[in-house]
Protein backbone atom coordinates (compact mmCIF):
# COMPACT_ATOMS: atom_id res chain seq x y z
CA UNK A 1 0.00 0.00 0.00
CA UNK A 2 1.37 3.40 -1.01
CA UNK A 3 1.28 6.07 1.68
CA UNK A 4 0.25 9.68 1.11
CA UNK A 5 3.86 10.71 1.65
CA UNK A 6 5.03 8.32 -1.07
CA UNK A 7 2.36 9.66 -3.42
CA UNK A 8 3.42 13.25 -2.70
CA UNK A 9 7.08 12.37 -3.20
CA UNK A 10 6.41 10.74 -6.59
CA UNK A 11 4.23 13.67 -7.66
CA UNK A 12 6.92 16.22 -6.75
CA UNK A 13 9.61 14.11 -8.38
CA UNK A 14 7.61 13.91 -11.60
CA UNK A 15 7.05 17.68 -11.59
CA UNK A 16 10.73 18.29 -11.01
CA UNK A 17 11.69 16.08 -13.95
CA UNK A 18 8.99 17.39 -16.29
CA UNK A 19 9.82 21.03 -15.53
CA UNK A 20 13.51 20.48 -16.27
CA UNK A 21 14.44 21.50 -12.72
CA UNK A 22 15.98 18.11 -11.96
CA UNK A 23 18.33 18.45 -14.93
CA UNK A 24 19.33 21.95 -13.76
CA UNK A 25 20.08 20.65 -10.27
CA UNK A 26 22.15 17.76 -11.65
CA UNK A 27 24.12 20.14 -13.85
CA UNK A 28 24.76 22.43 -10.88
CA UNK A 29 25.85 19.41 -8.82
CA UNK A 30 28.27 18.24 -11.52
CA UNK A 31 29.83 21.71 -11.76
CA UNK A 32 30.23 22.04 -8.00
CA UNK A 33 31.71 18.55 -7.62
CA UNK A 34 34.10 19.27 -10.46
CA UNK A 35 35.11 22.65 -9.00
CA UNK A 36 35.70 20.99 -5.60
CA UNK A 37 37.95 18.37 -7.23
CA UNK A 38 35.65 15.57 -6.07
CA UNK A 39 34.99 14.15 -9.54
CA UNK A 40 38.69 13.95 -10.44
CA UNK A 41 39.58 12.48 -7.05
CA UNK A 42 36.82 9.85 -7.23
CA UNK A 43 37.74 8.97 -10.81
CA UNK A 44 41.42 8.56 -9.84
CA UNK A 45 40.61 6.45 -6.77
CA UNK A 46 38.28 4.23 -8.81
CA UNK A 47 40.89 3.72 -11.54
CA UNK A 48 43.53 2.95 -8.95
CA UNK A 49 41.22 0.45 -7.25
CA UNK A 50 40.39 -1.15 -10.60
CA UNK A 51 44.05 -1.60 -11.47
CA UNK A 52 44.74 -3.28 -8.11
CA UNK A 53 41.90 -5.77 -8.56
CA UNK A 54 42.86 -9.15 -9.95
CA UNK A 55 39.60 -9.41 -11.83
CA UNK A 56 37.65 -6.22 -12.46
CA UNK A 57 34.07 -6.31 -11.28
CA UNK A 58 31.76 -3.47 -12.22
CA UNK A 59 29.65 -4.12 -9.11
CA UNK A 60 32.68 -3.84 -6.82
CA UNK A 61 33.85 -0.63 -8.51
CA UNK A 62 30.35 0.85 -8.27
CA UNK A 63 30.09 -0.07 -4.59
CA UNK A 64 33.44 1.58 -3.94
CA UNK A 65 32.29 4.74 -5.68
CA UNK A 66 29.09 4.81 -3.63
CA UNK A 67 31.09 4.86 -0.41
CA UNK A 68 32.87 7.99 -1.65
CA UNK A 69 29.58 9.94 -1.56
CA UNK A 70 30.39 10.52 2.11
CA UNK A 71 33.32 12.64 0.91
CA UNK A 72 31.08 15.13 -0.94
CA UNK A 73 31.81 18.59 0.50
CA UNK A 74 29.14 19.84 2.91
CA UNK A 75 28.81 23.10 0.95
CA UNK A 76 27.85 21.12 -2.16
CA UNK A 77 25.30 19.04 -0.26
CA UNK A 78 23.81 22.19 1.27
CA UNK A 79 23.51 23.91 -2.11
CA UNK A 80 21.71 20.94 -3.68
CA UNK A 81 19.33 20.62 -0.72
CA UNK A 82 18.64 24.36 -0.94
CA UNK A 83 17.78 24.07 -4.64
CA UNK A 84 15.44 21.15 -3.99
CA UNK A 85 13.75 22.90 -1.06
CA UNK A 86 13.29 26.03 -3.16
CA UNK A 87 11.55 23.99 -5.87
CA UNK A 88 9.29 22.31 -3.32
CA UNK A 89 8.43 25.65 -1.67
CA UNK A 90 7.39 27.06 -5.06
CA UNK A 91 5.04 24.11 -5.57
CA UNK A 92 3.09 25.03 -2.44
CA UNK A 93 2.86 28.81 -2.86
pLDDT at position 57, please?
74
DSSP string for 20-61: THHHHHHHHHHHHHHHTTHHHHHHHHHHHHHHH-SS--HHHH
pLDDT at position 83, please?
95
pTM: 0.75
pLDDT digits (tens, 9 = 90+) for 11-63: 999 999 999 999 999 999 999 999 999 989 888 887 887 777 777 677 777 77
Return the domain boundaries, the chain.
39-82
pLDDT at position 18, please?
96
Q: For residues 25 and 23, what is the distance between their CA atoms, to the nearest angstrom?
A: 5
Instruction: Give the CA angle between residues 88, 23, 78 to the nearest 5°.
Output: 55
Percent composition of the chain: helix, strand, coil (DSSP 3-state, to 5): 85, 0, 15
For 41, residues 6+ apart whose C-beta sits below 8 A from its C-beta are 71
Amino acid sequence: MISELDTLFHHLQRRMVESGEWEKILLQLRHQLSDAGWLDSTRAKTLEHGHRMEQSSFRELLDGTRTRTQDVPEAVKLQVVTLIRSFIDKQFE
